[in-house]
Structure 1
Amino acid sequence: MEDDGPPKKTSRLGRILRIAGMAALGTVVIGSLGAVVGWLVVNGLETVAEREARKPILTVAILADGVTPEPNTSLDNMPADKPGSHDDGHAMAGSDGKTEDGAAGHSDTPGASTASPDAEPAKPEGPRFELALVEETEKGMLPVVAPDGRMAWETYARPFNDDSKLPRVAIIMTRMGVSRSLTAAAAEALPPEISFSFSTTASDLDDQVAMAQQAGHEVFLDIPMEPFGYPANDPGPMTLLTSLSAVDNLNRLESALGRTVGYAGIVGVRGSLFTTDEEALTPVLGVLKERGLMYVDDAATSRTIALEIAGSIQLPRAIANASIDDNPALPDMERRLAALERTARRTGFALGVVPPLPVTIDLLVSWSSTLAERGFVLAPATAIANKQSLR
């Protein structure tokens, strides 16, 4: 009997192998055809053209000889310690508006701006000042006379070029800074010839001084001095007192002077007792002279001897001829301004001191607008320095 078992297994195995081989061959052929089709799709003429069209193109202009390229704003804004930043010897303004040399910290044109006409007004970044006119101390940056002899009271004075013989009237609005909104309103509404004197206790003193400078006003600082009736009548914790030593009073003075920069001088306020005490007053006025500042006396008393002492040491000075108090009635304010005009007509120069109130701002706007037609010149306070008689 014939045994056909093993040949059947071999035949079946052969068929399986042939089927597997054909499947593998089919896969290879199909894969090759797919690759060919894919290559044709990717590299077809239309596909290549479309891909080329999407490639970014960088065009570089070739400047002709002698043509200056436009400035690069990114390079201009690069910090000074980065490679490629400015290194041409000019001062660069910091984020607070303060500069790195003595000449570039202020603008010759008050309120000048490089912003476009449609741009929002830039917020002042800090008072304008010159480094040559300050020294760094533990009490802050204090004014000094520059090596070339320039002084703060002249450098920070509002320019005044009127050479007419018309009587000059100056106004200082004192105690500025207590209300930022009033500072903004006064800076915007009042003529720039009206000077501002700021309280050194203002919390944002630098910003408000910068606001005044930007509007063109020259700046002073209020320095409170001991009044009669102290301590019941107390101008504040940094008041200069007759009971303190000269060292203690000068420390208080310098702490106040170090609160900001860019001011022309100080206004001695409420010092009805202090300004009659020669021993207490003389060292204070001497320091103001050494630091190149101007002194303005608010005439808290008719017995003040501040102008006599200032004159003896050649300290630039002025004194208030009229003062408007904190609770003024409109008729009373008008009478005091009229008295100021009479003093100016009689002597050639007069200075008034007013508080920062909405009513005084409104009155000064209307009053100052008619000064010229009445034969007066509105002048900054620095323009009458040393012009008034000592008595």
Structure 2
Amino acid sequence: MAGMALLGVSVIGGLGAVIGWLVVNGPETVAERKARQPELTVAVLEDGAVPEPNTSLDNMPAKEPGSHDDAHASADGATSEHGENPGSSGQGEHGGADPAAQTPAPAQQEGPRFEQALVEETEKGMLPMVAPDGRKAWEVYARPFEGDTKLPRIAIIMTRMGISRSLTEAAALALSPEISFSFSPAASNLDDQVAMAQRAGHEIFLDIPMEPFGYPANDPGPYTLLTSLSAVDNLNRLESMLGRTVGYAGVIGVKGSQFTTDEEALTPVLSVLKERGLMYVDSAATSRTIALEIAGTIQLPRAVANANIDDNPAVAEMQRRFAALERTAQRTGYALGVIPPLPLTIDLLVAWSATLAERGFVLVPATAIANKQSLR
């Protein structure tokens, strides 16, 4: 009985499907569907005939010269050549034209000043080189020294510039242009910040992080030059940093208490700096550094820090180190201090440097004491 019932249901279901197919695909239904389908008729033109325009683009008014629509968006979609964000609609919140969006964008900030003859194009960027006529970056980009050459000279390099753009700007505006700035290769918008410092008159150096004692717990960053790397790997890292910007006179070794005691690791690096026409400043992270001896042997322009001010300076300690710089300059004729960019250091440096002349010293850019200090 159950089987008979199941057979009956199957037969009835099958008949229902057949009837439904006939209804959907009957002659009248098919005709109606065909009538509703869109048709496209394409005219076949004779040879040489010009077709009529079939798009509204052909009838749009021409753009006015200089309009924002003429700007070409950059490959990554960040900004146009006029400094406009391509993702901005230029409309107000109600869909109308936004008057602010129609204001011409300010001109882009110029990049660092440099001479084309002093750089070479490489896959790592524009690297410094000795010009065909023999000119070198450390001489061309040096801030001219026109002070009294008989007075004891004191130079100051403010390192790790660029990590904070606001501090870079504050230092550039507040400090004497005789103070040299050394920028971190890890800084963002490095070209713009270097250009800002150049316009304020400061000569430029580049920080080169080197392996300190206690590495890797004490790690200066991903491009740190290491004694455990081959010379090729260290030079690749060096060139990657040198290619980050242009217009600098030299480099300063940052940290480096371990690296600057290893002749095998250090010599190739200093040799490349010499070949590229740069000056080297040793931060004297350790009294055991051999950088000055190697630099003297290969005739690399050089200087060494006589005092370092750390990241947590007390006012009394900073004043003590400023006094130590003065004593060194009085005794030897030359002294160099290395200072980080902090609100406190900027303020104290402004006040201290303003009184140097009355005490018989002259503030000079770092290049003005190149090769002047004793090797020990």
Query: TM (normalized to structure 2)?
Result: 0.72
Counterparts of 2:234 and 2:352 in 1: how far apart (Å)?
A: 39
Q: 2:214 aligns with which of 214, 229, 239?
A: 229
- 1:1-391 residue pairs with structure 2 within 5 A? 124-391=109-376
- Aligned residue identity for 1:373: E
Q: What per-residue deviation string (whole Å, max 9, x for no partner) do you get for residues 233-274 of structure 1?
A: 100010000000000000000000000000000000100000
2:252 is paired with a residue whose SS is: strand
2:350 is paired with a residue whose SS is: helix
Counterparts of 1:194 and 1:141 in 2: how far apart (Å)?
A: 25
Kindly tell me: are residues 196 and 122 of structure 1, through their superposed partners in 2, closer, same or farther at Cα, counting changes over 3 Å?
Answer: farther
What residue number does 2:39 align with?
Answer: none
- Aligned residue identity for 2:134: G
- Aligned residue identity for 1:248: D
The answer to whether the Cα contact below 8 Å between 2:207 and 2:253 also exists between their aligned partners in 1 is yes
Counterparts of 1:309 and 1:353 in 2: how far apart (Å)?
A: 21
Give the length in aligned residue pairs.
Answer: 274
2:348 is paired with a residue whose SS is: helix
Counterparts of 1:124 and 1:177 in 2: how far apart (Å)?
A: 16
Query: TM (normalized to structure 1)?
Result: 0.69
Q: What per-residue deviation string (whole Å, max 9, x for no partner) do you get for residues 274-316 of structure 1?
A: 0000000000000000000000001100100000000000000
Shift of 1:122: 7.8
Counterparts of 1:385 and 1:128 in 2: how far apart (Å)?
A: 22
Counterparts of 2:109 and 2:199 in 1: how far apart (Å)?
A: 7
- Aligned residue identity for 1:215: A
The answer to whether the Cα contact below 8 Å between 1:227 and 1:233 also exists between their aligned partners in 2 is yes
- Aligned residue identity for 1:361: I
Q: What per-residue deviation string (whole Å, max 9, x for no partner) do you get for residues 318-356 of structure 1?
A: 000000000000000000000000000000000000000
Shift of 1:172: 0.2
The answer to whether the Cα contact below 8 Å between 1:124 and 1:214 also exists between their aligned partners in 2 is no
Counterparts of 1:298 and 1:122 in 2: how far apart (Å)?
A: 39
The answer to whether the Cα contact below 8 Å between 2:328 and 2:335 also exists between their aligned partners in 1 is yes
Counterparts of 1:202 and 1:183 in 2: how far apart (Å)?
A: 11
Shift of 1:124: 3.7
The answer to whether the Cα contact below 8 Å between 1:224 and 1:271 also exists between their aligned partners in 2 is yes
- Can you give the 5+ residue segments of structure 1 that lack an aligned partner in the other structure? 1-73, 75-94, 97-120
1:146 is paired with a residue whose SS is: coil
2:223 is paired with a residue whose SS is: coil
2:146 is paired with a residue whose SS is: coil
Counterparts of 2:290 and 2:108 in 1: how far apart (Å)?
A: 42
The answer to whether the Cα contact below 8 Å between 1:124 and 1:211 also exists between their aligned partners in 2 is no
CA RMSD of aligned residues (A): 1.5
Counterparts of 1:164 and 1:199 in 2: how far apart (Å)?
A: 31
Greater CA radius of gyration, 1 or 2? Answer: 1
Shift of 1:163: 4.2
Runs of 4+ in 1 over 6 A off after TM superposition: none
- Aligned residue identity for 2:273: L
- Aligned residue identity for 1:272: S
2:182 is paired with a residue whose SS is: strand
The answer to whether the Cα contact below 8 Å between 2:148 and 2:362 also exists between their aligned partners in 1 is no
The answer to whether the Cα contact below 8 Å between 1:174 and 1:355 also exists between their aligned partners in 2 is yes
Residues 156-165 or 280-289, more deviating? 156-165
1:222 is paired with a residue whose SS is: strand
